[in-house]
Amino acid sequence: MTTESAPAPRRRPPSLAQEELRRAWHELRGPTQSPARAAAAVALGVFVGSFPLFGVHTPLVLVLCLWLRLDAALGWVASNVSNPLFAPFLVTAEVEVGSYLATGRFMPFDVERLGEVVSYALLGAPFVAAGLALVASVLAYGLIRAGRALGRGRWRRTPYALPSDAPAAWHAIERLAARFTPSTSAALGDRSRFHYLRVKLLRDASAKRVLALAGATPGALGTVLDLGMGHPELALLLLELGAAERVRSFGCDPAVVARAWRAACAEPALGAELEAAAPEELLLLARAAATGARAGEGEAGVDTILLFDVHSGLAPAEVDALLGHAAALLRPGGRIFVRSVDGARRIRSWLARSGRADARGQRRPARPARELAAVLAEAGLETEVVRAGSRLGARVLVVGSAGRAPVALLR
């Protein structure tokens, strides 16, 4: 008689919030856990926590441990040496040591001399803190060595890694961020830039919309042309994910383009074409490409066009002309993605653009998204306006889709 085994329970899909918490915990604990590094974390925590600077112990310990790649969780626990039970004795010891260093004798209790307590405590705190840190680090080192002798496996720490069943976009964003800054770098600034780019792409509503339309089909977006004023990370992400077959991106900041080019050339190379161009040059490039596509010269159009934040570098008439030429470049079934600030949301758009100048040093009012959609509709595209940020924000994404008939060139 054969018995059928019960089906394995279906695993829940990974949660981005839970994965970020796991990553943050691994980042706080540091890359390795040796007895010496653990003892250093305890010493740092006790040293900082012994100072009479109540209220700033935790941020100081976290910053220093992250900078030195020590166990921040262990350091935070050790910094609580100045807890309500132990703080009176700690402060008293610091005052007495400071008084002895300043006057050569201990300070007797005198209500009239309470004003000297603060200065004596600050003077004696480094010496008391150093002594306690030395004792605590020696104890921690001995306890951890003893614990390792009793059970070695419990002390091993594995670096964080995304689950294998995480969405492909998460893995692609991880790889792309590592191209710009290695995640294993020991420098706090490098790790901060790595996490900033990774979180930026994970939270970018515009990127989510573009990736959702790309789906899981390889090369779904075909040939991509990026004519935006922002950074080319999204265009590179499409190549990293395999959603684009070819990418050509123009940027207004030569330093940003050079940094993106180095990232794209890292092995395995993405093969992206990146060039620097001034805002007015983007209009000329689009006009020349559209005219060539119309005449059947050069490349026969593109499948996807990214126009992000073009309002920040071009006048309204130039933006309209750029949208018209971009529409003429689209192949049948192609899409244009225009990210902008919706001027119809007056207060929100003012908050989004307050204090910001465009690439030419001018400040222009944000245009309503319906005006941008109307320009694309006039060029024969089907348009849709979707929110590209939080409900309180004013960023929108105008999506224009080309039908199967050729799009006429706007003059």
Which region holds residue 51: left if phi is over 0, alpha if psi is between -120 and 50, else beta?
beta
Rounded CA-CA distance 199/197 in Å is 6
pTM across the whole model: 0.78
Q: Which domains does the chain have, with CATH numbers?
A: 16-155 (no CATH), 168-401 (3.40.50.150)
What does the pLDDT read at residue 347? 45
pLDDT of 352 strictly over 50: no
Beta strands in 205-245 (DSSP E): 223-226
Rounded CA-CA distance 213/58 in Å is 44
Q: Give SS3 for 307.
A: strand
Rounded to 10 degrees, what is the CA torsion of 124, 130, 131, 136?
140
Question: In this predicted model, what pLDDT tens digit does every residue of 166-189 receive, in sequence order?
Answer: 999 999 999 999 999 887 777 778
Tokens of 14: 């990974």
Q: Give SS3 for 377.
A: helix
Rounded CA-CA distance 286/330 in Å is 11
pLDDT of 346 strictly over 60: no
> Residue 78: which pLDDT band, with cuts at 50, 70 and 90?
very high
